[in-house]
Structure 1
Amino acid sequence: MSDRPGTTGRLITGVAWAVLLLGLWLWGRGITEVNLSSPTTGDAAVGRPLDVDLPAAHKPVKAAKPQRVDVTALRIQAPVVARGLDGGGAIDPPPYDQSGVVGWYGGGVQPGERGTSLFVGHVDTETRPAVFYHLSEAKPGDAVRVVRDDGSVVTFTVDDVQVFARDAFDPHKAYGPHRSDRAELRLITCGGTFDKASRTYTANVVVSAYLTGVDGAPGKAT
């Protein structure tokens, strides 16, 4: 996601994903709601246009593990695999030979249940675009469909797109729930420009979405 493969890549990966660890540390301690009554923007952010008519939120449903994510508007159709934390305590992204796979933080919220579920993916590799190459093109109103292992499909609607510079990363805005009573989703990859000296990107793209529909028969949330 955040750097390109190579001899130095393994070291840089831990540094680049440290922002995710910080976000998880705060998010796991019950961050209060983020106020989005007006657009909040980061470095080169798309923001949240005031004239977008977004659907009502669907009530959270019983937890189930994600198997696949589809975002038609962004040409994303990919399997989802659970990922944990690496030896340095940061989220361990999918390996570069699986650059078409989306990683879900398996130690956190499952998509559809109350809280914020985290999906991460690479933007590119040394030679080709990766699964979240088009993520920065997301717009409020875009639909994100997640197929779950209980046979249900949960649909999320994008309501916020931001790009956070690494030196000004705000974990509260990136990971804090927009509404504490909703099921929410974050799609995260690298953004900004690629710094050849440090072999990292200068920013993180964070796409926020909330549950708006359910197909299938998931159990009621407990």
Structure 2
Amino acid sequence: MGLPLDQQWVDVSTDPPDPPPRDPWWRRGRVGRLVSEWLPEISAGGHRRLAIALAGALVLAVVVALWVAMSSRGVEHEAPPVLPVAASAASSTPQASIVVSVVGRVASPGLVTLPEGARVADALRAAGGPVPDVDLSALNLARRLADGEQIYVGMPTPPGADPVPAAAGPPGVADKVDLNSATLAALDTLPGVGPVTAQRIVNWRTAHGRFDSVAQLREVDGIGPSRFARLKDLVVAR
């Protein structure tokens, strides 16, 4: 005869059953389900879909690489446009030259070769320039030079030396540089005018046909009021 239900013995020594094992982390979620669906196909020999995917990824990588290479090449070879340079008579006609002697307080005394029409300032520059603190007040730096003459810098003219042309008064019309026919070399001899400014004067003359007046020098880039004041008595527009 059995015991009453409230007195029946219950065996609690046994553990509850283990929960069912969980899927690995890479099988969880939507991505995991897709991976789980693909794995059986791959293991069963279904490599076609994987091969197509890999081929598509390779083609995309090649296209991106080509696009990057073409873009970078376009940037490297980009260059500013080359500005035209006006033709000059000096490029086709040999420029006559003169030789003068520069002695005294200059960096490199001796003989210097200069283009015809050069001035005292050009001779000093060709001789390396005067030494510091030398007094140049006795020299007319704008005077045109003659072939074979000698220039004494910072020292008195020795007795019996050839006389130096007078420095008084502005140069005559025959001594002035004609803005409409002067070459680059002739323009470069003007005080305060270097190769760059001389080229700008020639470019302005080429663009406008000719100079109608000396005042039009003010329209040349780089020639301001002070530089024009130094040049206006040394040039002419014939």
TM-score, normalising length: structure 1: 0.19
Higher helix share: 2
Larger radius of gyration: 2
The structure with higher relative contact order (CA 8 Å, sep 6+) is: 1
Higher strand share: 1
